[in-house]
A = this chain, B = another copy of it.
Amino acid sequence: MFVRNAWYVAAQSEEITHALTQRWIIGEPLVVYRTRAGEVVALDDRCPHRRASLSKGSLVGDDVQCGYHGITFDCSGACVHVPGQERIPPAMRTRKYPVIERWNWIWVWMGDAEADESLLPAFQYNDSPGWKAVGGVLQVNANYQLLSDNLLDLTHETYVHGKTIGNSAIVETPMEYEVKGNEVHIKRIIHDAPPPPLFKRVRNFEGNIDRWQVIRFQVPAHISIDARGYPAGSDDMARALRWFSMNSITPIDERRSMYYWTITRCFDLENEELSQLIYDKILATFLEDVEVIEAQQVLIETDRRGLIDTSVRADSGSISARRIIQRLSEAEAAADAGVTA
C-alpha cells in the first residue's frame, strides 16, 4: 500500500554525480543523475523501446543514451534520437519524475498529480546554520510502515536500545498525540529521570534530566523527532542536549525499504569526535531496530492465520499514521478507477 502523490528520498545528495544511478521507489525503477550544471534528473529507468535499463547506458552530454540500441532521451524524458531512422515515434518517451534537491537529500515526486512542494517535510535542520548533521542510509528487508511504526512508538527504546538512548523512564511516561490533517504529532516529556547512556556521555549530565520527545509524522514516512535533554528543572540550552532525529523511509517495494536518517544537533558543532560518536552510536541503535523489524517482517509474511494485532495505548500514533496512509492510498485507487467521492 503506497501513496504515490508524495515525496520520497531517492538518495543523499553526495551519492548522485554526473553518472547514471539506479534507484527503486515504491516498486518503480528510476535512473537518477546530475546534469553538468548540477541539476538532478530522475527518469523511468525502463527504456520505452524494449525495457532495457537506462541506468546501464551512458550520458551523452546531459542526455541518457540507452546502452542497448542507442535510443537517446533528454532531461525531460523526450526521445531525441533513434539510431537508424529520422522519425521518432510519439510514444518513445520515458517518464520524468519531479525532483527537488534540498537539505542534502534528493526528493522525488512519484505521483501523477502535479508535484506539490508544500508536501515536503520540515527537514530544514538537516542543513541549516547553527546545526550539524550526521547520517546515512540503510537497506531494511521489511515493509516501510513497520519502520514508521517503530519511530512513532518510542517505548521500544526502553527494550531495544538500553545501551544508547533507551531507559525505563520512557515507558513510564505517557505520550500525548494529536492528528492534524495528514500529520501526526506526538509528545512525551519526561521529568527528572536518569539520562540514557548516550545522552549522559554526550552532555556529561551529572544528575537527572528532563527529556523531550516531540515527534512529527508526515506522509508517507517522514518522521522528525525533536529530542531534548535538560538538566532536571532547568531550561538552560547551553547545558542541554538537543538534536533532531530526521528519518525518511523510502519503500523499494512492499518488502524492502531504504532508511534515510540524520541526527542534527545545535550544540558543540565543531566537535568532530562528538560527530563521530553520535554517528557510531545511532547507527548501532538503528541496526538493533533492523534486527527486530526484519524478524517481524518474516512473522507477518508467514502468518497464514491473519492474526489481528492487539493494540495498546502507545500505538495511538502509529495507528493514526497508518489510517492516513490507507485513506490517501484508497483515494488514489478510487481516482485511478475513475470514481469521484
> A295 touching B174 by the CB < 8 A rule?
no
Please, which residues of chain B bring their CB within 8 A of the CB of A302? 27, 29
Closest-by-CB residue of B relative to A48 is B310
Oligomer: number of copies:
3
| Residues of the B chain whose Cβ atoms lie less than 8 Å from the Cβ of A172 | 83-84
CA distance A149 to B67 in the complex (A): 15
A83 touches B158 (CB 8 A): yes
Q: By CB atoms of chain B within 10 A, which of A92, A156, A173, A303 has the most?
A: A156
A311 at the interface (CB under 8 A from B): yes
B-chain residues with CB within 8 Å of residue A309 when the two chains form the complex = 48-51
Nearest residue (CB) in B for A46 is B299
Task: Name the residue on B nearest A289 (C-beta).
Answer: B68
Instruction: Tell me, yes or no, whether A204 is within 8 Å of chain B by CB.
Output: no
Q: Is A52 in the interface zone, CB < 8 Å from B?
A: yes
Q: Which of B49, B53, B299 contacts A310 (CB 8 A)?
A: B49
Report if A171 contacts B (CB, 8 A).
Answer: yes
A312 interface residue, CB < 8 Å from B? Answer: yes
In the complex, A323 has a CB within 8 A of chain B? no
Q: A29-B302, A68-B159, A292-B68 are in contact. Are A312 and B84 (CB under 8 A)?
A: yes
- Residues A292 and B84 in contact in the complex (CB < 8 Å), given A69-B314, A158-B70: no
**Do the beta carbons of B299 and A49 come within 8 Å of each other?**
no
Report which residue of A50, A89, A171 has the largest number of chain B beta carbons within 10 angstroms of its beta carbon.
A50
Query: Is A120 in the interface zone, CB < 8 Å from B?
Result: no
Is residue A74 within 8 Å, beta carbon to beta carbon, of the partner chain? Answer: no
A296 at the interface (CB under 8 A from B): yes
Q: Please, which residues of chain B bring their CB within 8 A of the CB of A180?
A: none
Residue pair A70, B299 in contact (C-beta under 8 Å): no
Interface residues of A in 205-258 (CB under 8 A from B): none
Q: For the complex formed, measure the closest distance between the CB of A286 and the CB atoms of chain B, giving whole angstroms.
A: 14
User: Is A300 an interface residue, CB under 8 A from the partner?
Assistant: yes
Is the Cβ of A159 less than 8 Å from the Cβ of B65? yes
* Docked complex Cα distance between A68 and B293 (Å): 9
Nearest B residue to A89 by beta-carbon distance? B310
**Residue of A29, A85, A155, A295 with most chain B CB atoms under a 10 A cut-off:** A295
Q: Which chain B residue shows the least CB distance to A295?
A: B53
In the bound complex, CA of A82 to CA of B84 (Å): 64
A84 and B171 contacting across the interface, CB-CB below 8 Å: yes
Q: Mark A51-77, 1 if CB is under 8 A from B, else 0.
A: 111001100000001111111000000
Q: Which residue of B lies closest to A91 (CB)?
A: B310
Given contacts A29-B302, A56-B291, contact A307 B85 (CB under 8 A): no
**A91 to chain B: closest CB distance in Å?**
4
**A159 near B303: Cβ-Cβ < 8 Å:** no
How far is B291's CA from A46's CA once the two chains are assembled, in angstroms? 15
CB-defined contacts of A304 to chain B, threshold 8 Å? 27
Write the A117-161 contact mask toward B (1 if CB under 8 angstroms, else 0). Answer: 000000000000000000000000000000001000101101110
Query: Judging by beta carbons under 8 Å apart, are A52 and B296 in contact?
Result: yes
